[in-house]
Amino acid sequence: MVNAAPVAVSVSADAIVHAILALGVTHVVNVPDTHQRTVLAALAHESRIRLLTACTEDEAIAINAGLWIGGQRPFLSIQHVGLLAALNNVKGIAMDGQIPTCMLVGYFGRDVTRTARDNAARAIHLIEPTLDTWGIPYFPIEGPDDLGAIGQAYRHSLEHLGPSVILVGAPTS
Amino acid sequence: MRRQAAIAALVAARADAITITTEQAIGAWRAAVPEPANHIPDHLDIVGCMGSASTIGLGIALAQPHRKVIVVDGDGSLLMQLGSLVTIAGAAPANFYHFVFENGVYETSGSQPLPAEGKFDLHEMARAAGYAYSAQFDDAGAFASAVSRLLNRHGPVFVSVRTEAEDGFLVRSSAGTRLDVQMHALRERLVG
């Protein structure tokens, strides 16, 4: 049997943290995502960013809003199922409040030999259609060449005053 | 105690704190302050994201550590996102004051009783979650005489304010300014 070539390949945590730092991010609000465990480990040792952990993604989006209202430059790290769980606050705070809400979202459990839309797991193949339905822009990272997506998504959230999503295709290394 | 009496005591003690109200507290706060509704300085009325007033307040408190942040919450709202007690305790903002008005019902939808009403204790939950201080009041006079001291404590402080169920008029009549207008105006005042 021949193994299928991966569609999504890993990106290093250092590269992702470097990209976040370059944006002047002050706080990363997270609900821990297994897919991004190396990013969270790196952020835990990064003195220039405060890493805040929330119990739910709804809370994380609310904290992000408060930080932005208070003049900080927050950023979110969550899992794809957490994004689905938090749609009430994506609408009620990020959209209705017109709050820059940039979310780094890990596709935990994705079969990396298939595109996200072709994955058998419902929670994975429904993410992009859900974001399309809600009109939320998303920026996939399928490998190191896509790291610019972090800056694009962050700037989009600031310029358009609303949510944006960075979809992390493979577990970070 | 009557909700309006407790709100009046809190308004009198607020000084220059940033204030955030939600659900049952919005109309009562508007009735108690001297400023016109929708023009209360450094204030947010949170609707449309039930349970999130306290975590929005948490973010503001962390961003503005030299300003006190008072969140006036409801029991049904807090139960929507009960884990926020632990999140707030973990972040441990010293300038955060969480007043939860407990009337035991979902007032806006017709005063249906909360699940397990009379069996749970939010004051003890906040203490167990790790708030720096937690207290409970069911007498308006005792609350009024304590509120200034509460606001001088090192936060996060949790205060359960047990009130009578009321007719909901102030809640039903409290439609206000769009959330984006409020949030951007507050950011402008805080950051410039």
- Domain ranges in chain B are 3-191
Dist. CA A114–CA A108, nearest whole Å: 14
Three-state DSSP string of A151-162: HHHHHHHHHHCC
pLDDT at position A20 over 90? yes
Distance CA(A151)–CA(A128), nearest Å, equals 20
| CB within 8 Å: B49 and A58 | yes
Does a structural domain hold residue A136?
A: yes
Per-residue model confidence (pLDDT) at position A94: 98
Rounded to 5 degrees, φ, ψ at B69 are -120, 120
Q: For the domain that residue A40 is a member of, what is the CATH number?
A: 3.40.50.970
pLDDT at A43: 98
| pLDDT tens-digit map of A50-83 | 999 999 999 999 999 999 999 999 999 999 999 9
Classify residue A1: in a domain, yes or no. no
* Range list of β-strands (E), A25-80: 27-30, 50-53, 74-79
Query: What is the pLDDT at residue B111?
Result: 87
> Is B168 a residue whose pLDDT tops 70?
no
The per-residue pLDDT for range A153-173, each reduced to its tens digit, is 999 999 999 999 999 999 999
What's the whole-number average pLDDT of chain A? 97
Least confident of A46-60, A96-110, B18-32: B18-32
Q: Which fold has domain B3-191?
A: Rossmann fold (3.40.50)
Task: Give the nearest partner residue to A96 out of B48, B57, B60, using CB atoms.
Answer: B48
Whether the CB-CB separation of B40 and B33 falls below 8 Å is answered with yes
A110 neighbors A135 (Cβ within 8 angstroms): no
State ipTM.
0.96
| Residue B172: pLDDT over 70 | no
Q: What is the predicted pLDDT for the residue at A84?
A: 98
Percent of chain B topping pLDDT 90: 80
- Give B165's pLDDT tier (boundaries 50, 70, 90): confident
Helix (H, G, I), strand (E, B) or coil at A39: helix
Instruction: Report yes or no: B81 and B55 within 8 Å, Cβ to Cβ.
Output: yes
Q: What are B32-85's pLDDT values in tens digits?
A: 999 988 889 999 999 999 999 999 999 999 999 999 999 999 999 999 999 999
Contact B28, B3 (CB under 8 A): yes
Asked if A98 is an interface residue toward chain B (Cβ–Cβ < 8 A), one would say yes
Question: Residues 6 or more apart from B178 whose CB is under 8 A from it?
Answer: A96
Q: Which residues contact B154 (CB under 8 A, 6 or more apart)?
A: B94, B132, B133
| pTM of model > 0.95 | yes
Residue A90 has pLDDT above 60, yes or no: yes
Q: How confident is the model at residue B169 (pLDDT cuts 50, 70, 90)?
A: low
Query: Contacts of residue A52 in chain B, CB cutoff 8 Å?
Result: 62, 91
Q: Look at chain A and report how many structural domains it folds into.
A: 1
CB B63 within 8 A of CB A69: yes
B132 φ, ψ (degrees, to nearest 5): -65, -30
Hey, are the CB atoms on B62 and A56 less than 8 Å from each other? Answer: no
Give the DSSP H or E segment for A67.
Answer: helix A57-69
- Could you give the CA distance from residue A65 to residue A74 in angstroms, rounded to a whole number? 8
The domain in which residue A56 lies consists of 13-168
**SS3 per-residue string spanning chain B:** CCHHHHHHHHHHHCCCCEEEEECHHHHHHHHHCCCCCCCCCCEEEECCCCCCHHHHHHHHHHHCCCCCEEEEEEHHHHHHCCCHHHHHHHHCCCCEEEEEEECCEECCCCCEECCCCCCCCHHHHHHHHCCCEEEEECCHHHHHHHHHHHCCCCCCEEEEEECCCCCCHHHHCCCCCCHHHHHHHHHHHHHC
Query: pLDDT at position B176, please?
Result: 74
Interface residues of chain B, partner chain A, Cβ below 8 Å: 48-49, 51-52, 55-64, 81, 83-84, 86-87, 90-91, 178-180, 183-184, 186-187, 190-191
Q: Is a pLDDT exceeding 90 seen at residue A136?
A: yes
Percent of chain B exceeding pLDDT 70 equals 95
Interface with chain B: mutation pick from A53, A59, A101, A161, highest number of B CBs within 10 Å: A59
For B34-62, b/e burial (b = at least 16 CB within 10 A) is: eeebeebebbbbbbbbbbbbbbbbbbbbb
SS3 state of residue A59: helix
For residues B2-6, give the mean pLDDT: 92
In a domain, A173, yes or no: no
Proportion of chain A above pLDDT 90, given as a percent = 98
